[in-house]
């Protein structure tokens, strides 16, 4: 059993942009690609909560879908608990699928409307033929419900999703993911559809699960405040690449990459009268079809230098252990 539960080596996902019939016949154009994920390495440790954060279009959801094999890799390798899963056939991969589970953003859309809570949670058990009999299914469904804090299972098993509140729905979604006892849980924006008062319940639940079952969790979110409360380590993504990675507190309290700096500086805070040095970037993230040359961020970076548009900075380790892909940050770190 290795310490690393999931490893991604240089994973890429390029989506082909479809051109119309006319241009395919009459023009010989190179196919264009959306470079959603463009060469990312990741290591997630056992029992770790790891966050991938960034704005829309940074590729964070595609990374999650690649890990779950909901998308095929364009390039790169995925390793799960020491086994290479990226080349496996679907039947070989099936037994790994029970060990990694995913929960989605929208608890209103991710649960089937006409299935009872019991059916929803029991479905993965039945698909994977895990239980000897229906009694065991029932037992595991109930214990999964208790795991997610729905403490009187009898009250919930027969209910339909519309009879539950948003927070309860998300708990049921977590229970359905947990019933297979996965080693890795991928949560794509697990709380962004929930009210503030409900969010805390789900976040606490995820922390408890990690403490109790030593499960690894990958959180995908755009909300840095949520990341700060939950994650041990964080990776900030921009246009399909990781620009900065390290311990969450370190990265959010003193970011080094200029993009992270700008992002952190404009997150609204519920504190009054705090003087903050805001770095307001103009424009929006460029289209991932035409990614800027050199450093992807150089078109919007307020501190851009000459080399930034020519060479792409590598993700290098700094003296304090974090990794940053920015020439300026690397130079200033070396100077200190």
Instruction: Rank residues 203 and 316 by Cβ distance to other proteins and give the closer one.
Output: 203
Does 221 engage in binding with other proteins (CB under 8 A)? Answer: no
Q: How many CB atoms lie within 10 A of CB 76?
A: 17
Instruction: Rank residues 179 and 194 by Cβ distance to other proteins and give the closer one.
Output: 194
Does 335 engage in binding with other proteins (CB under 8 A)? Answer: no
Q: In sequence order, which residues have a C-beta less than 8 Å from that of residue 61 and are 6 or more positions away?
A: 188, 220
Contacting other proteins (CB under 8 A), which of 68, 131, 160, 281? 281
Joined tokens for residue 193: 């559809």
Contacting other proteins (CB under 8 A), which of 60, 199, 257, 296? 199
Stretch in the footprint of other proteins (CB under 8 A) among 97-105, 216-224, 290-298, 310-318? 216-224
Does 150 engage in binding with other proteins (CB under 8 A)? Answer: no
Contacting other proteins (CB under 8 A), which of 17, 70, 211, 266? 266
| Min separation Cβ 299 and other proteins, Å | 13
Contacting other proteins (CB under 8 A), which of 49, 73, 103, 262? 262
Instruction: Rank residues 101 and 260 by Cβ distance to other proteins and give the closer one.
Output: 260
Does 198 engage in binding with other proteins (CB under 8 A)? Answer: yes
Phi/psi for 10 (5° steps) reads 55, 40
Stretch in the footprint of other proteins (CB under 8 A) among 21-29, 30-38, 182-190, 199-207? 199-207
| Min separation Cβ 216 and other proteins, Å | 19
| Min separation Cβ 80 and other proteins, Å | 29
Instruction: Rank residues 200 and 294 by Cβ distance to other proteins and give the closer one.
Output: 200
Q: Measuring CA to CA, which residue among 90, 272, 291, 80 is closest to residue 300?
A: 291
The footprint of other proteins on this chain (CB under 8 A) covers a number of residues equal to 44
**Subset of residues 27 to 66 that bind other proteins, contact rule: CB under 8 A:** 55-56
Q: Tell me whether residue 291 is exposed, middle or buried, using C-beta atoms within 10 angstroms of its C-beta: 0 to 12, 13 to 18, 19 or more.
A: middle
Contacting other proteins (CB under 8 A), which of 45, 97, 128, 222? 222
| Residues of this chain that bind other proteins (CB under 8 A) | 55-56, 165-168, 195-201, 203-204, 207, 222-226, 228-230, 249, 252, 262-264, 266-274, 278, 280-282, 284-285
């Amino acid at each position: 059993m290795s310490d690393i539960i999931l490893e991604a080596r240089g994973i890429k996902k390029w989506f082909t942009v479809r051109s119309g019939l006319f241009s395919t016949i009459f023009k010989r154009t190179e196919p264009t690609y959306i470079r959603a994920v463009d060469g990312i390495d990741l290591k997630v440790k056992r029992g770790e909560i790891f966050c991938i954060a960034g704005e829309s279009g940074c590729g964070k959801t595609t990374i999650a879908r690649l890990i779950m094999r909901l998308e095929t890799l364009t390039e790169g390798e995925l390793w799960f608990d020491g086994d290479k899963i990226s080349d496996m056939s679907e039947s070989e991969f099936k037994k790994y699928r029970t060990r990694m589970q995913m929960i989605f953003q929208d608890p209103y859309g991710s649960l089937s409307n006409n299935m009872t809570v019991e059916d929803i949670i029991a479905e993965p058990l039945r698909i994977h033929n895990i239980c000897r009999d229906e009694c065991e299914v029932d037992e595991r469904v109930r214990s999964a419900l208790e795991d997610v804090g729905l403490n009187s299972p009898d009250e919930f098993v027969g209910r339909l999703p519309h009879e539950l509140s948003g927070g309860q729905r998300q708990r049921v979604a977590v229970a359905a993911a947990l019933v297979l006892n996965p080693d890795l849980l991928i949560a794509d924006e697990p709380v962004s559809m929930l009210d503030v008062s409900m969010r805390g319940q789900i976040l606490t639940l995820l922390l408890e699960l990690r403490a109790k079952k030593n499960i690894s969790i990958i959180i995908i979110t755009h909300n840095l405040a949520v990341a700060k409360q939950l994650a041990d380590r964080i990776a900030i993504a921009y246009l399909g690449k990781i620009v900065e990675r390290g311990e969450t507190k370190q990265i959010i309290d003193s970011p080094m990459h200029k993009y992270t700096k700008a992002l952190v500086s404009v997150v609204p805070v519920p504190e009054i009268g705090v003087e903050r040095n805001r770095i307001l970037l103009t424009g929006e993230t460029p289209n991932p079809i035409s990614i800027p040359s050199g450093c992807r961020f150089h078109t919007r970076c307020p501190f851009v230098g000459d080399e930034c548009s020519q060479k792409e900075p590598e993700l290098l380790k700094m003296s304090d252990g974090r990794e940053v892909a920015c020439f300026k940050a690397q130079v200033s770190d070396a100077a200190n």
